[in-house]
Structure 1
């Protein structure tokens, strides 16, 4: 009983302290997405939250068109910037528009040379996520990926 009670309370706390506040953050950032890029397909997340849980519902509710392709956020662990491709659906690993295939699996200077963007750190082999040393670099990666 104690274990089940603790799990239930953990679930309630998550929804009250994380999930619900994250919805408002994602809604605000979706509304401001065209301030980041005129395409409306790149969102800047200004604080860490469980954004993936809300993107799909909010896109429908807010009539987001075209659909979001990338989310840029700062990695709290190392102050690097991430550009993450949005999945095709909440239960799929496949991305709507993965980062370019010629970048996948590359790191550091080699990636920066191929991408033509300074400060690149890596792009995952599946293209679902990449990293850059700066916000400007991550934004450049996302913008170049839209055109690829």
Structure 2
């Protein structure tokens, strides 16, 4: 199999597209050229050639009638390659990924990481100085450099893969966390309180999983020396609370907090009323129950 993209100056979309293909396909010959004879003879062509036809392995996006996402956003070459080859690449990007979360991870990366490159490449969104697209483009050789564009491209591709791996593994971790939180919610005695056996991101599961009755989540710190009772915000990334902790607890610590809350091993209650803690899971659960009883 022979894969081709354009020679000369490269951008984030063609660099990441190549990186995805390296993990999606076992082996292939790769070339960078603008020679139409070489382009026409290749099995897969991306970001060059003037043709978009996935059935023929043609993934250019520089024509007037360019391919678009369902929302109208133009695809770049990496968006097209990720759409058709990203699922095949994921088992190498995230070793051990299960089939139960593969589609979720693919969608997460497509809707955030890949979309941002599509937008920047097509001028749909402004790319600031720290934008990933510009960081990749910085690998292009300076005018007085002795490095070839092809060597610089491969160097940029290695850099890009490292970033893509981290993004995919983060998305995988979030997908697993969502599964664990939903499992804890199904096992909860009271739908208003869930208990997690480890610290992990839970907010996405609350809103995407439709946990509308949930008021408190209980989870430990990293070394299991304390357990937190955290209120649920009314919307993502908010410090508001569906049910705030009692005013009488706020700002208190250790003995004073324990006495006010009616437990033996209290640690603190934040002045903002959105989180408090104890030294045992049982006490942390009781804090949630007491806060609910005080309200209802």
TM-score range, shorter chain: 0.7 to 0.9
Instruction: Provide Cα deviations, 1:29-63, integer angstroms capped at 9, x if missing partner.
Output: 110112xx4xx20000122321112111112xxxx
Give me the whole-angstrom Cα distance separating, in 2, the residues matched to 1:4 and 1:99.
45
Corresponding residue for 1:12? 168
Higher RCO, 1 vs 2 (CA within 8 Å, ≥6 residues apart):
1
Q: How does 1:31-50 map to 2 (within 5 A)?
A: 31-34=186-189, 37=190, 40-50=191-201
Once the 2 structures are TM-superposed, how far is the Cα of residue 136 of structure 1 from its aligned partner? 1.3
Once the 2 structures are TM-superposed, how far is the Cα of residue 135 of structure 1 from its aligned partner? 1.1
Corresponding residue for 1:129? 275
Decide which structure has the larger Cα Rg and report it.
2
Give me the whole-angstrom Cα distance separating, in 1, the residues matched to 2:261 and 2:178.
33
Q: How well do the aligned residues superpose, as a CA RMSD in angstroms?
A: 1.6
Residue 285 (structure 2) pairs with residue 139 (structure 1): yes
Once the 2 structures are TM-superposed, how far is the Cα of residue 9 of structure 1 from its aligned partner? 2.7
Structure 1: tracts of 5 or more residues without a match: none
TM-score, normalisation: structure 2: 0.44
Once the 2 structures are TM-superposed, how far is the Cα of residue 8 of structure 1 from its aligned partner? 3.1
TM-score, normalisation: structure 1: 0.85
Corresponding residue for 1:26? 181
2:247–2:273 contact (8 Å) kept in structure 1: yes
Residue 209 (structure 2) pairs with residue 58 (structure 1): yes
Q: Secondary structure at the match of 2:209?
A: helix
Q: Secondary structure at the match of 2:169?
A: helix
Q: Secondary structure at the match of 1:54?
A: helix
Give me the whole-angstrom Cα distance separating, in 2, the residues matched to 1:110 and 1:48.
26
2:231–2:244 contact (8 Å) kept in structure 1: yes
Compared CA separation, residues 90 and 113, structure 1 to 2 (3 A)? same
